[in-house]
Amino acid sequence: QVQLVESGGGLVQAGDSLRLSCVATGRTLSNYAMAWFLQAPGKGRECVATISWSGGRTNYADSVKGRFTVSRDDAKNTVYLQMVSLKPEDTAVYYCAAGRHYGLHVGYDYWGQGTQVTVSS
């Protein structure tokens, strides 16, 4: 079992930056591909960033490409999502997830509880 805990969300203004963190306990993250999802009010959960086991590959949804960067520090069992140039439409609950397969459109096995990001205009 892997337990994931996100942090770093908050209320910011359009154009600001935030860095989300996801700390894992239970098992080492180096065994897993990791992803960040967002769920906006009234919408489904969408994968916006993913990183492979080694960190050598990343992939992003078009909506965040060039603004969001996913990274991992396996020594700290932590995955990050650096977000810059935030827009009001980025407002959502952000979840990190761990799984055996890498990709934006694959299933993930373990989920955090989410952290709220609100971007005001």
How much of the chain exceeds pLDDT 90, in percent? 92
pLDDT for 51 beyond 90: yes
Q: Are 34 and 97 in contact (CB under 8 A)?
A: yes
Question: Residue 73 has what pLDDT?
Answer: 95
Q: Which residue type does 19 have?
A: R
List % helix, strand, coil for the chain (3-state, nearest 5): 5, 50, 45
Question: Residue 1 has what pLDDT?
Answer: 86
Token reading at 87: 């827009």
What is the mean predicted confidence (pLDDT) over 88-114? 95
Token reading at 108: 């993930």
What is the mean predicted confidence (pLDDT) over 81-97? 98
Q: What does the alpha-carbon distance between residue 5 and residue 63 come to, in Å, rounded to a whole number?
A: 24
Q: Are 83 and 20 in contact (CB under 8 A)?
A: yes
Q: Are 8 and 19 in contact (CB under 8 A)?
A: yes
Question: Residue 27 has what pLDDT?
Answer: 87
Q: Tell me which DSSP letter residue 34 carries.
A: E
Q: Are 67 and 85 in contact (CB under 8 A)?
A: yes
Q: Given CA atoms 100, 106, 111, 112 in this order, what sign does their dihedral have? A: positive
